[in-house]
Structure 1
C-alpha cells in the first residue's frame, strides 16, 4: 500500500479540529517517496522589500487543508528571529518569542554542545552571522514539478528589492527514501491529534496538537507560550534546521574494521542505528534484514522496547532508541511525548554504496536534519545535551550517540550481550555540522499579516 493510500485509509474529516486552512501544509504533509527538492536561504537588506516578498510568497504556500491528498510539489516558508527583525516587526512581537529563538542557533552553541569541529565558526557562510533570514523549502515528486515550483519562487525573488539569495542546496532520494548511510529514514512520525488521522500500528496514541501547533492545547492541557499578537503566533510552529555533512566512507571503514565480513558489518550497523537498512527494526527482526517488513508502513513501527529491557536486541545506545526510547526505563525521568518531533529531513549527494571509503568523504553528501515542534528549541537542546551527547539517562555515562553524536575523541559503542557486553571502540563524528538556524514557520494568515506590514498602519 502506498504512503498516501495508507494515510487516506486512516483519515476521517469528522475528527478534524485544527484550522487546517491556516496551517502551512509542510507541517503535516510528509515528503513524497521518491522525492526531490531544494532549500534556499535568503537575507533581507530592506524591510519593505522583504515584506513585499513574504506577501507574494504567501500565495504560493499551500495550507494543510487536503493534506492527505496527492500534491506533486509544495513549498514552505520559515523565518529566523534576525529575519523578523530585518522585516521590521515591532519590538513587542520580537520580544514575545522564546529566548533561544531570539538568540539564534549559533549563540546557543554551548547549550547545543556544538563544539570543536561543529562550532559555528566552521559553518558555511549562509548560516554565519545571522545571515539566514528566510528559508524556503520545496519538496516535489519529480524534477519537472520541482523546477515548476522553483521557477515560481525564483520569479518572485527576482522582482523583490533588498533581498539576497545566500545559497541553495538541492536534495533528493529514490523510492527507498534512504539516508546517506543507506538506511531508510523518517519512518517514526507522531500522529497529531485533531489532524483527522488515526495512528498507524506502533505509533502509540495521537499526541496533543499543541506540541506541534501554536495556540492548541499541549500534552500539559494548555497551549505553550506563543508570540504575539495572536495573528502572528496562532497556527504557526517552530523549526530546527541543521545541515550535516555525512562521513559515509569513514562509517563504512569503521564497520569493516569491526566486522569480519559483510554480514557482521551489516549487523553492527543495524545495532548502531536500531534498524536494518530496509527500515526493519531490530526488535521485530533481530537476526537479519527483512525488506518486506521494512517497506510495510502498517508493521515497521509496531513495537516498543518494553520486552527488551536489557538492550540485548536493540542496544540502549542505538541512535533510534536514543531518539525515541518508547517503552524504555530511563534513569533520568522524562515525558517522552513532549519530545516528539515531526521530521522533514532531506538527503543530498550520491547514494550509499558498500565500497565507499574515507577517501570518498569529500563533503558532497549529507542531510538536512529538519524538525517541527512547538517546543523545538527546548527539545533540540535537551536532545543534544542528554540523549545525543551523553548516555547518563540510560546508565551509559558519557557514551554518545554513535551516529549523530559529536566525538571530539574516539568514543565507544556498547552492545549488551550474554554473558559479557561488547564494547566497540573508535567511534568518530560521522555527521559534521555545517550550519543551521532556529526558525519560525508562520501560519498562512501570519505570512499575509507580515507581508502587509499591518502593524505599521496602527
Structure 2
C-alpha cells in the first residue's frame, strides 16, 4: 500500500507541537515520496520576465503547502528556481546579489569545488543542463500513473497559453519497489525537523534545528542561516541540489561477479551490501551483518535505529561503505566534523527499468537507468561541496587516504575498497565509476508567499 508509512507518520504527528509556518512552506520539503512512487521532472527556460512571472502565477496554485503534509495526497508538486531563472524573471539586482556565491555562480561553475572532472565535467553534461538553461524545475510525485497524469495536466497543461517560457524537456521516473537502479531500497534515513510536529522514530535521535532546512529559522548554531532579501523572498524557503546520474548497472553486476568470494548470487549480494552498507531490502549491516532481513528492511521503526558506536572497527559495516560515508553517525572520524550541519532531506528519484542481476557492462546504455540525486537543505550548496570533497571523493576522514565512495565516487582510475576483517583487512581493487554525472544545478525552493511575490513583481509595488 502506497501510504502505509504516512499512516504511521500521522500517529506521531502532533499539531500542538508545530512551530513552523507550515502553510507557507512547500509540502515537498517535508513530505517524503510515496512507496511505490512515480513522477516527473520538468525543466523550463524563462525567455521573458513577463512569461516567467506568469508561469509562477499559474504554478503556485498547484503547489500544496506543508500545512497538511501528513494527510493523504495522491500527487503533489514542488517548484524550484535557479539564480539564472530569478534573473530572467526580473528580480532587482539587490535581491539577486543577496544569494550565496555558490548559488549565484551555479553548479557548472563550481565544478572545481565539486570535483566534477573527467567524465563528470560540465562540458560532458546533457544540453538540458548547459549554459544556465535550466531556470525552473518542476517536480511531481504521485502514487499512480493516473494521479501523475492528472497532476501533470494541472501543473503544466497550460504552457501553450504562456508566451515567453520554453519547456526544455521532461523526464519520467518511478520505482515500483522504491529501489534505486542497483536494486537497493533507498532514502530510508531522513532527518527529523524540529518544529514540524512529528515525534522521533527509533534511531532518529533528536530533531535537527529547523534552520538547517528552512530559511529564517534558527539553525544548529543557534541563529538563522543567511538568507536572501527581502524577507518575503527568503523566509520559509530552502535550497535544492539537483544532480542527474546515469547508472552503470551492468558494470556493477560485473564487479560483484568478479570479486565475490563465491560464484553465487548470495555471495554477490553480500559484497554489494558491504559496498552500500545496507542489504537490498534496506536492512542495515550493523543490525543484520550476515544476511538480508526483509522484515527489518521494511520496518520503519527499526531500519534506521542504529549507529556505528558498536562497530568501531567496521567489521560489520566497512568505514568506506556508501551509507556510512554519507551519515557516519557515531563513527570515530579522523577529521572532526559536526554531522548535524551536514544532514540533508533526500528526494531522490529512480528512472529506467528495475535492476536485473543478469545485466553486464555490455548492456549499459546512456539515459536508460539512473538516479536524480535531489536533496534539500538551507546549506545545500555548502553541504554538497563538502560531501563531494571530503566524504565522497576522499577517505581521509575515516583514515583511508584517497579511497573514494564505491557507489557515487568518481573513479578516473580503478579504485580500491577496504573491508575490515580479522586477522587482516581485505582490499578489493577495480572499483570504477558506477554512477556518471550527466548534469545538475543549484536551485532555490521559495515559500508560497515568495512564489506569489515573484509572480506579482512585488518589488515594483
Tell whether the structures are fold-level matches, with TM greater than 0.5: yes
The answer for unaligned runs of 5 or more in structure 2 is none
Q: Unaligned regions of 5+ residues in structure 1, if any? A: none
CA distance in 2, matches of 1:133, 1:254: 38
Matched residue, 1:380 = 384
Displacement, 1:152?
Answer: 1.3
RMSD: 0.7
Does the 8 A contact of 1:53 with 1:156 survive in 2?
no
Instruction: Determine if contact 1:57/1:156 at 8 Å carries over to the other structure.
Output: no
| Equivalent position of 1:216 in the other structure | 217
Match of 2:438 among 420, 434, 440: 434
CA distance in 2, matches of 1:349, 1:453: 40
2:114 aligned with 1:106: no
SS at match of 1:171: strand
- Distance in 2 separating the partners of 1:157 and 1:329: 52
Q: Is the 8 A contact 1:208 1:219 kept in 2?
A: yes
1:76-87 paired onto structure 2 within 5 Å: 76-87=78-89
- Counterpart of 1:115 (choices 96, 114, 117) is 117
Structure 1 residue 28: Cα displacement: 0.4
> Which residue in the other structure is 2:330 paired with?
327
1:416 aligns with 2:420: yes
| C-alpha deviation, 1:279, in angstroms | 0.3
The answer as to whether partners of 1:80 and 1:132 remain within 8 angstroms in 2 is: yes
Query: C-alpha displacement at 1:154, in angstroms?
Result: 2.1
Q: Which whole-Å deviations, capped at 9, do the CAs of 1:171-190 have from their partners, x for residues lacking one?
A: 0011x310000000000000
Residue deviations 1:348-403 (CA, integer Å, cap 9, x gap): 00000110111111120000000000000000000000000000000000100000
CA distance in 2, matches of 1:379, 1:291: 32
TM-score, with structure 1 as normaliser: 0.99
**Residue 368 in structure 1 maps to residue 360 in structure 2:** no
Name segments (4+ residues, structure 1) moved above 6 Å: none
In the other structure, the counterpart of 1:393 is 397
- What's the offset of the Cα at 1:456? 2.1
1:301 aligns with 2:304: yes
Q: Are 1:350 and 2:356 an aligned pair?
A: no
Q: Give the superposition deviation at 1:155.
A: 2.1
Counterpart CA distance in 1 for 2:7 and 2:62 is: 26
The alignment partner of 1:337 has SS state of helix
Instruction: Give the equivalent residue in structure 1 for 2:26.
Output: 24
**Cα distance between partner residues in 2 of 1:79 and 1:241:** 11
Question: Residues 147-186 of structure 1: matches in 2 within 5 Å?
Answer: 147-174=149-176, 176-186=177-187
How do residues 57-76 of structure 1 correspond to structure 2 at under 5 angstroms?
57-76=59-78
In structure 2, distance between residues paired with 1:146 and 1:60 = 13
Residues 23-47 of structure 1 show CA distances to partners (whole Å, capped at 9, x for unaligned) of 0000001000111000000001101
